[in-house]
Amino acid sequence: MSNEFNELISSIRDFAIARDWEQFHTPKNLAMAITGEAGELASEFQWLKADESLRSALSQEKLEAIAMEIADVQIYLLRLADVLGIDVPESVRKKIEINESRF
């Protein structure tokens, strides 16, 4: 696993430990949190026309709000992978290989 992934996962884990949140970070709860955060990300685009959702059409404020929602989704994804002991880069590489043979 890359150094940057390890650092992010470690920071997220330390954050949860410092707040005694590990008890709540079951795979089920984390998966549900991902769904909620993905919904918040989708809501940033709700009612925009396709061309209004392009980077060139977004205000800096809107782009920052989207970035923070992407971060929330990613944090929960990394936490879930950590709790389950899943190597994210390796899983992504494997999935890309599978997709290359399917499409």
- What pLDDT, in 10s, does the model give residues 17-68? 999 999 999 999 999 999 999 999 999 999 999 999 999 999 999 999 999 9
Check whether 1 has a pLDDT greater than 80.
Answer: no
Check whether 100 has a pLDDT greater than 70.
Answer: yes
Check whether 10 has a pLDDT greater than 80.
Answer: yes
Q: What is the pLDDT of residue 5?
A: 84
Tokens of 68: 């923070």
Task: Please state the pTM of the whole predicted model.
Answer: 0.91
**Closest alpha carbon to 72 in 43, 41, 32:** 41
- How many CB atoms sit inside 10 A of residue 5's CB? 15
Instruction: Name the one residue in this structure whose structure tokens are 């991902």.
Output: 34
Check whether 2 has a pLDDT greater than 80.
Answer: no
Check whether 72 has a pLDDT greater than 90.
Answer: yes
Q: Please, are residues 72 and 34 in contact by the beta-carbon 8 Å criterion?
A: no
Domain holding 29, by residue range, is 3-102
Instruction: Name the one residue in this structure whose structure tokens are 């940033």.
Output: 44
Domain with 35 in it: what CATH number?
1.10.287.1080
Count of structural domains, the chain: 1
Check whether 78 has a pLDDT greater than 90.
Answer: yes
Q: What is the pLDDT of residue 38?
A: 98
